[in-house]
Amino acid sequence: MFCSFYRVSKHYVLQSELAGYYAQGSTVVYYQHKARRKDPFYARQLEELLGGGDFPDATDQALKFEKVSQRYYMFVIQPRYKEVVDRCVSDLLSTAWYKHFRLL
């Protein structure tokens, strides 16, 4: 996910880029395509990202899209947006979209 040698590629994001948006007060959402690894690998990546000190007071949320090509939507949530993001995710999962997404 965080490959500095792919800086010019539009397929990768650097941790410093995510941290920059977070430092500006944004809640950050990024997605990651699933490779041949199990879900705990991706959950650990998000935990390690938040544990690095670049995202003070952040909470996380992760959704897995399970149809066709699997991918993960990772949320790095500002404290002031936690309730809103949690409610939006809950609302999404209470619709027909629950057939396609699940919490990681």
Cβ neighbours of residue 36 under 8 Å, at least 6 residues apart?
none
**In terms of residue numbers, what domain contains 28?**
11-103
Residue at 92 is within a domain: yes
Chain segment 22-68, per-residue pLDDT in tens: 999 999 999 888 888 889 999 999 999 999 899 999 999 999 998 77
Cβ neighbours of residue 81 under 8 Å, at least 6 residues apart?
27
7: confidence class by pLDDT, cuts 50, 70, 90 = low
Residue at 5 is within a domain: no
Biggest CA-to-CA distance, the chain: 40
The whole-angstrom separation of Cα 88 and Cα 24 is: 22
Sheet of strand 28-33: strand arrangement: 28-33, 71-77, 59-65, 101-103
Rounded to two decimals, the pTM is: 0.82
Number of structural domains in the chain: 1
